[in-house]
Structure 1
Amino acid sequence: MLDVRRMQVLRAVVSGGSISSAAANLGYTPSAISQQIATLEREAGTPLLEKAGRGVRPTPAGRLLAERATELAGLLADAEAELADLRAGRTGLLRLRYFNTAGVGLIPPAVAKFRAEHPEVRLELKMIDEGILGEVATGEADLAVIVVGREVPRARGVRVEHLVDDPYQVVLPQGHPLCEQQELDLVQLAAESWVLGEALGGGPCAESQREAFDAAGFTPRVALETGGDYSAQGFVAAGLGVGLQPRLALGVLHPGVVVRPLRHPEPVRRLHVAIRETVAAQPATRALLAALAGVARA
């Protein structure tokens, strides 16, 4: 296999026209230059230099390798510049995954902020509902916004950082008597029928809702389970019950509903970001995390 450093020595000999000039330019002895050339000729399997008066000139093979050495020097310089940009967060690719409702009030403004500050960094965005942490663990994604229950999930090569506690709010139909209050205790809704996204089944979102209902001392009477937050608002507006939705999912409101914050207790879903360890320290990664955190806290 050809050695790139020896090719650069050959390039210096061909450019200077002699072993001695290359030695002077590179800071080596003529003997060291000759040894490098002899080793490169053995690697190439053919002579690379021939006598020309008091100096040397390249053979066709020597001219080829000297030209390729020049090209390699340019490629290495480009690679070093690109690597410096990547380390400084000026370029690169980040692959971000997120769940459905995060795509309403969190991801769009955070991505807009990040792109305004880092226009040369490419973002690959993908919404998935299942296996989102697995994509980070297998290297298919760099970051993922996830909902965490009581136990923070762990995976090899993945760092999980807290992002924000996103409070749930109650969604009431227009004209409901409780619309007159600006804030509600959860127990005030004990007698209501409910339109819920997961109907207190499995998953961290249902877990946090169930904890809140248990703390308020009642089990909700579920009239309808629906997967979509906006469609759930439609059923609430139609009078089928009241709803419970996270604040970050309420960027778009049905005209027939009113939203009020809850207390005693305030249900929350715990949002975290899973990050591949290999990209966690990169400036672009930290900048994207800062954008997500800034929007989440706003």
Structure 2
Amino acid sequence: MWVLCAVVAGGSVTAAAARLGYTPSAVSQQVAALERQTGTALLERVGRGVRPTAAGRLLAEHAVLIGRQIAEAETALADLCAGRTGRLVVRYAPGSGAGLVAPAVALLRAGHPDVRIDLGPADDDSALADVARGLVDLAVVTRLPGPPDGVPDGVRLEHLMDDAYRAVLPAGHPLAARRVVDLDELAREPWISSGEPGAAVVAGPEIVVTGEDQAAVQSLVAAGLGIALVPQLGLGTRHPGVVVRRVRNPGPVRPVHAALRTAPGGHPAVLFLLDALRDAVPRGTDRRTPRRPVEAPRTDGPRVPRPAPAG
């Protein structure tokens, strides 16, 4: 059809041949082949030139439209492949949104404003499953499933940071004046849980109430109902009635990973978001981000670092 368009635009087979770099015979053969396919005459002779028949004019007009659509599709595809457009589906574990995911997405949007972000919270199990099925492009997970399930096939993990737990105490608590608290000093305290496994490292904690989120946990602590262990990423907004203290002996952490598909063909902006997540890790946090994808830790609780050897 492009040859027909050239003939119609040039008004002759010779002009079309010169424009396309073909011989006049090659142009005539292609027009004749197109007439056989359509079953109708597309050109008629007028003096030394030709003009399109009604069918030829109709086909040439559609060819022009198709050419424009192909050019638009090529431009759109180039933008998508460069990560400039498209839709990115991102899920994140509760407690990681404000401190890590939000600033990372802001960095991504600053450099790729035309990429649409479908952002929302999800528990680790469903987020990993959706990544494996190709329904989610990237997920930030904090509690990985243990054996026998492990990480689904087709999913790789990139370590982002180790999110340290902090003790949240009522402002009037006897240990509130300390900068660092030993966990065994808190073992007999009433505990408030947000579903995080941090309290599991304390021997026999008494869970008196479970808060629906980190803000609710802080409010319950401020009311004097108990104390809590909250990951640092979940402490973006501090309640005025609580104090937050570092813990040691042991100092529990939860590893934070980005989960991506191992199969090729994902949205190119995923890699930009991964870099943005690394850049958004709060200062002073133990990143220890490896260059290669890490294997999934076989635990569903926080990881307690081993003490440094003496001497």
**TM-score bracket for the superposition, by shorter chain length:** 0.7 to 0.9
- In 2, the alpha carbon distance for the partners of 1:62 and 1:68 equals 10
Does residue 135 of the first structure (1) align with residue 130 of the second (2)?
yes
User: Which residue in the other structure is 1:260 paired with?
Assistant: 245
> Residue by residue, what CA displacement relative to the aligned partner does 1:265-285 show, whole Å, maximum 9, x if unpaired?
221112212224445571x22
Give the letter aligned to residue 43 of structure 1. Answer: Q
User: Which residue in the other structure is 1:84 paired with?
Assistant: 78
Say if 1:158 and 1:274, in contact at 8 Å, map to a contact too.
yes
- In 2, the alpha carbon distance for the partners of 1:67 and 1:26 equals 18
User: Which residue in the other structure is 1:145 paired with?
Assistant: 140
- Deviation of 1:136 (Å): 2.4
Aligned pair partner of 1:286 in 257, 271, 276: 271
Check 1:128–1:67 CA distance in 2 against 1; reply closer, same or farther (3 A cut): same
- In 2, the alpha carbon distance for the partners of 1:108 and 1:34 equals 62
Give the letter aligned to residue 255 of structure 2. Answer: R
- In 2, the alpha carbon distance for the partners of 1:155 and 1:56 equals 65
Say if 2:168 and 2:230, in contact at 8 Å, map to a contact too.
yes
Say if 2:144 and 2:151, in contact at 8 Å, map to a contact too.
no
Does residue 225 of the first structure (1) align with residue 222 of the second (2)?
no
**More deviation in 51-60 or 33-42?**
33-42
Normalised by the length of structure 2, the TM-score is 0.81
Does residue 17 of the first structure (1) align with residue 11 of the second (2)?
yes
Aligned pair partner of 1:184 in 181, 198, 206: 181
- Deviation of 1:259 (Å): 0.5
Say if 1:279 and 1:285, in contact at 8 Å, map to a contact too.
no
Instruction: List runs of 5+ in structure 1 lacking aligned partners.
Output: 1-6, 199-204
Greater helix proportion: 1
State the superposition RMSD in angstroms: 2.2
Aligned residues: 279
Give the letter aligned to residue 247 of structure 2. Answer: L
User: Which residue in the other structure is 1:201 paired with?
Assistant: none
Does residue 45 of the first structure (1) align with residue 30 of the second (2)?
no
Q: Aligned runs of 1:176-255 on 2, under 5 Å?
A: 176-198=173-195, 205-206=196-197, 210=200, 212-213=201-202, 218-255=203-240
User: Which residue in the other structure is 2:257 paired with?
Assistant: 272
Q: Secondary structure of the equivalent of 1:191?
A: coil
Say if 1:190 and 1:220, in contact at 8 Å, map to a contact too.
yes
> Residue by residue, what CA displacement relative to the aligned partner does 1:22-73 show, whole Å, maximum 9, x if unpaired?
2222122223222322222233232211222222211111111111222222
User: Which residue in the other structure is 1:202 paired with?
Assistant: none
Q: Secondary structure of the equivalent of 1:258?
A: strand
Say if 1:11 and 1:69, in contact at 8 Å, map to a contact too.
yes
User: Which residue in the other structure is 2:297 paired with?
Assistant: none
- In 1, the alpha carbon distance for the partners of 2:156 and 2:265 equals 10
User: Which residue in the other structure is 1:104 paired with?
Assistant: 98
User: Which residue in the other structure is 1:158 paired with?
Assistant: 155
User: Which residue in the other structure is 1:170 paired with?
Assistant: 167
- Deviation of 1:153 (Å): 4.3
- Deviation of 1:94 (Å): 1.1
> Residue by residue, what CA displacement relative to the aligned partner does 1:162-210 show, whole Å, maximum 9, x if unpaired?
2222111110111112111111222222222211122xxxxxx52x653
- Deviation of 1:135 (Å): 2.4
Give the letter aligned to residue 187 of structure 2. Answer: A
Q: Secondary structure of the equivalent of 1:181?
A: coil
User: Which residue in the other structure is 2:61 paired with?
Assistant: 67
User: Which residue in the other structure is 1:118 paired with?
Assistant: 112
- Deviation of 1:76 (Å): 1.8
Say if 2:88 and 2:267, in contact at 8 Å, map to a contact too.
no
Q: Aligned runs of 1:29-44 on 2, under 5 Å?
A: 29-44=23-38
Normalised by the length of structure 1, the TM-score is 0.85
**More deviation in 273-282 or 78-87?**
273-282
Give the letter aligned to residue 58 of structure 1. Answer: P
Q: Secondary structure of the equivalent of 1:91?
A: coil
